[in-house]
Amino acid sequence: MRSPRSARAPRRRRAAVAASRCAAAAGLVVGLVVGLGAAADPPVRAPEGTPGGVAGGRDVYAWPFAWDSIWNLPLAASAVYRPFDPQAQALELDWNNISVDPADPVRQLRADDEEVPVHVDPELSADGGWNNCSALLVDTPDRLTVIQGQPMELEPGGDPSWEYGWPPMSLTDRGTEGCHGGSGLSGIGGAIRIGELTGPTPIRHALKIGLNCTESCSREGGGFRWPAVKADSGYEDKYGGSDPDVKMGSLLAVAPDTDLSWITQPDVRKVAEALRDYGGYVVDETANDKNFVVVETGAQDEIPNIDSEEMRRLFGQLSVVTNSTELTPGGGPVGAPRRAPCAPPFLDGSGAAPVTCSPSATVGQLVGA
């Protein structure tokens, strides 16, 4: 039996999105539910206890989005790093409410004046506090459509509701945008999922990071860069960082020549390796002197050393990838050699990356790994 999954009221309040967007999103989903017709064959699933998938394929619900999604694309061998110290006094967790299992019961999401049928983990709860960024699987015939919103209110086994919503997207698309109010980035992509920190395989996606923007985030360029689509409201007064490359959407990473041989804590090592091979996107500001890492609700106990001396030391060794742009995601063209293998196809064989998307023979191993 799964442990209870609950989300407390976070310490931050994100910038609100226009309420009309929620109504538009709900209307799109209602139309989608009506228009897709008869149910299709369900997506192929990985066996229970294999987070992400099995050799040669991945479970679309545990490891979603296209191989060239920002969340799945490893750092390029040509990435350019500049040291950046986030000056965090402490580290904490933020979490996304993710319910995308088609086996979960269908409940009615109340969003503005619409009701949308969604699959909801019966043990998941959320108290409606800001921001409770959430992603739910819509009960559409394709079993691949998710809708995101915040702040979510949900009693275990009940019907969820939220105030601000985003348009539906497919779990096989790129999955860039969503309910993180500071950046407009995804509420499912980049979150450390249940089982990823305790399983035998590495984390094979980019992470999501929150910064103390009073110290770290630049106001230049509107306070954000690709792939973010916005900054916090009032960023002109909130952001006080001096590095013009560090803002919402920035890609932070551990440079490949960084010595990490001192890491002894397993959860810290997994985070370090993910930051080395994929990096982490800045998605929100913390409104305090801490930094955060985003996990799926329910994975909190899998990262007991989030505020350990080792984790704080790791974050003090971050760099910003200065050449990560829409044309050079992760620091190089999409076809450029990468620091890790690209995501495998889904378990049904679709969504395969080209054979050229692989590590370069010239990319060295992490010192001390």
Q: Divide the 369 residues of the chain into consecutive groups of 10 and give the mean pLDDT of each group.
A: 48 42 51 48 63 74 98 98 92 97 98 92 92 93 96 97 95 98 97 96 98 96 98 95 98 98 98 99 95 97 98 97 98 94 94 83 38
Question: Considering the domain boundaries, does residue 101 fall inside one?
Answer: yes
Question: In angstroms, rounded to a whole number, what is the distance separating the alpha carbons of residues 20 and 265?
Answer: 46
Question: Considering the domain boundaries, does residue 304 fall inside one?
Answer: yes
Question: Considering the domain boundaries, does residue 277 fall inside one?
Answer: yes
What are the Cα distances from residue 275, in Å, to 99, 165, 281? 25, 30, 10
Domain tally for the chain? 1
Q: Which burial class, exposed, middle or buried, applies to 35 when counting CB atoms under 10 A from its CB (0-12, 13-18, 19+)?
A: exposed
Structural tokens at position 142:
């394709």
**Given this model, what pLDDT does residue 356 score?**
81
**Given this model, what pLDDT does residue 16 score?**
41
**Given this model, what pLDDT does residue 263 score?**
98
Task: Determine contact, residues 175/188, Cβ cutoff 8 Å.
Answer: yes
Question: Considering the domain boundaries, does residue 13 fall inside one?
Answer: no
Predicted structure pTM score? 0.89
Task: Determine contact, residues 335/73, Cβ cutoff 8 Å.
Answer: no
Question: Considering the domain boundaries, does residue 57 fall inside one?
Answer: no
Task: Determine contact, residues 219/287, Cβ cutoff 8 Å.
Answer: no
What are the DSSP calls for 33-63, one per residue? Answer: HHHS-SPPPPPP-PPTT-TTEETTEE-TTTS
Question: Considering the domain boundaries, does residue 66 fall inside one?
Answer: no
**Given this model, what pLDDT does residue 240 score?**
96
Task: Determine contact, residues 322/330, Cβ cutoff 8 Å.
Answer: no
**Given this model, what pLDDT does residue 112 score?**
78
Question: In angstroms, rounded to a whole number, what is the distance separating the alpha carbons of residues 148 and 155?
Answer: 18
Question: Considering the domain boundaries, does residue 4 fall inside one?
Answer: no
Tally DSSP H helices, then E strands, for the chain: 5, 17
**Given this model, what pLDDT does residue 8 score?**
52
- Candidates 339, 73, 62, 56; CA nearest to 196 is 62
> What is the domain extent for residue 103?
21-38+75-321
| Secondary structure element (H or E) that encloses residue 221, with its range | none
**Given this model, what pLDDT does residue 124 score?**
97
- Find where tokens 């619900």 sit: 61
Question: Considering the domain boundaries, does residue 133 fall inside one?
Answer: yes
**Given this model, what pLDDT does residue 357 score?**
84
| Tally of residues, the chain | 369
- Candidates 217, 209, 195, 262; CA nearest to 92 is 209
- Candidates 37, 75, 39; CA nearest to 342 is 75
**Given this model, what pLDDT does residue 13 score?**
42
Count the Cβ atoms, other than its own, within 10 Å of residue 349.
11
